[in-house]
Amino acid sequence: MAEEALSLPRVPIGDGVDAAVDFLRTELSGFFNAVQTVFGASVDAMEWLITLPPPLLFAAIAGLIGWRVRSWQFGAFAVVAFGVVDSMNLWDETMATLALILIATVLAVIISLPVGILAARSDAVSTVVRPILDFMQTLPVLVYLIPAVLLLGIGTPGGLAATLIFALPPGVRLTELGIRTVDSEVVEAAEAFGSSRNRTLLRVQMPLALPAIMQGINQIIMLALSMVVVAGFIGAGGLGNEVVRSISRVEVGTGFEAGLAVVILAIFLDRLTSAVGQPTRKKSKQAA
């Protein structure tokens, strides 16, 4: 009895969430149907585009990009790595995953850049956005995977939505951080010569925040990749499906091959995006 007297009355948070999801499903079904269609179509289109060249040509193109952006060693790695993927008979799955990641990244950047910029300009926005990002990043994935399925259905759209929720926060955070940490005297100098806020943003703050923003995009891609397997649980396709299937059948070898393909994609995309983030001009040498 004493225990009961001490315990607080139950606050029905869960019931509220249930009601909210139900409400969204019934009242906003049109909207979610549209989102579902757009998500599915854009990933399909991307997949079609990147499977246009045959695997070996794709590997060659990846090698060329790697060489131009980073180094010839990296280019060689890309050729060999994509060759290995093809030889493991995982080409279509890998391309499906790549398509999902690319679309997730594009969407995440489209959302996180403006939000990050607004948060950098306004402390109020920043104060509101920060806990939302914390929430998105720390809520266990499976908890929002199910509502995503309920709202967007099984398959790619649900997987894409879950990936977005998980991968978005670092894009916003690093954009805000990058812009806020631009030397305030440099920003002041821009303004002291009559620059408008938008010009200052585009010509001074964004270019100087670019390394941080690129790091954010890099993080988005890495987190999106780590969501691939989870999204496989709801049939998002690609390597995730492969991993889930082989694990459930205890086919350790096939599972490892799919995992290796994920790692190869991860290394390629990580090195590529981190190289783009570096300023191209030669580093400062302090003149005497």
Partner 1 sequence: MTMIRGEHLYKVFGPQARKAVDLFEEGWTRDEVKEQTGALGAVIDASIDVAEGELFVVMGLSGSGKSTLVRMINRLHDPTSGRVEIDGVDATALDGKELRELRAGKVSMVFQRFALFPHMTILDNAAWGLETQHVDREEREEKARKALATVGLDGWEANYASELSGGMQQRVGLARALATEADILLMDEPFSALDPLIKRDMQSLLIELQSELRKTIIFITHDLNEAMRLGDRIAVMKDGRIEQTGEPDEILSNPATDYVAEFVRDVDRSRVLTAANAVQDPLVTLSPDTQPRAAMVQMRDHEAAELFVTKADRTLVGAVRDDDVAEAAKRGDRTIADILHHDYGQASEDTPLGHTLLDAARYTLPLAVVGDDGKLRGVIPRVTLLSALANQDVLEEEGDPESNGNGPPDAAELVAQAAHDGQPVASDGQPHMRGEASTETETTEEGAHHG
Interface with partner 1 by CB under 8 A: which residues? 183, 185-186, 188-196, 199, 203-204, 207-208, 279, 281, 283-288
Q: CB-wise, 10 or 281, nearer to partner 1? A: 281
Q: How far is the CB of 9 from partner 1 (least distance, A)?
A: 39
End-to-end CA distance of the chain: 80
Q: How far is the CB of 271 from partner 1 (least distance, A)?
A: 23
Token digits for 110? 């489209």
Q: How far is the CB of 195 from partner 1 (least distance, A)?
A: 5
Q: CB-wise, 9 or 194, nearer to partner 1? A: 194
Q: How far is the CB of 191 from partner 1 (least distance, A)?
A: 7
Q: CB-wise, 10 or 285, nearer to partner 1? A: 285
Q: CB-wise, 195 or 274, nearer to partner 1? A: 195
Q: CB-wise, 26 or 280, nearer to partner 1? A: 280
Q: How far is the CB of 211 from partner 1 (least distance, A)?
A: 10
Q: How far is the CB of 102 from partner 1 (least distance, A)?
A: 28
Q: CB-wise, 26 or 286, nearer to partner 1? A: 286
Q: CB-wise, 184 or 248, nearer to partner 1? A: 184
Q: CB-wise, 4 or 185, nearer to partner 1? A: 185
Q: How far is the CB of 210 from partner 1 (least distance, A)?
A: 8
- Residue given tokens 């400062």 in the structure block: 284
Cβ atoms of 160 and 234 closer than 8 Å: no
Q: How far is the CB of 185 from partner 1 (least distance, A)?
A: 4
Pick from 159, 168, 167, 175: which is nearest to 237 by CA?
A: 159
The answer for residues whose C-beta is within 8 angstroms of residue 4's C-beta and 6 or more apart is none
Three-class SS of the chain? CHHHHHCCCCCCHHHHHHHHHHHHHHHCHHHHHHHHHHHHHHHHHHHHHHCCCCHHHHHHHHHHHHHHHCCHHHHHHHHHHHHHHHHCCCHHHHHHHHHHHHHHHHHHHHHHHHHHHHHHHCHHHHHHHHHHHHHHHHCCHHHHHHHHHHHHCCCHHHHHHHHHHHHHHHHHHHHHHHHHCCCHHHHHHHHHCCCCHHHHHHHHHHHHHHHHHHHHHHHHHHHHHHHHHHHHCCCCCCHHHHHHHHHHCCCHHHHHHHHHHHHHHHHHHHHHHHHHHCCCCCCCCCCC
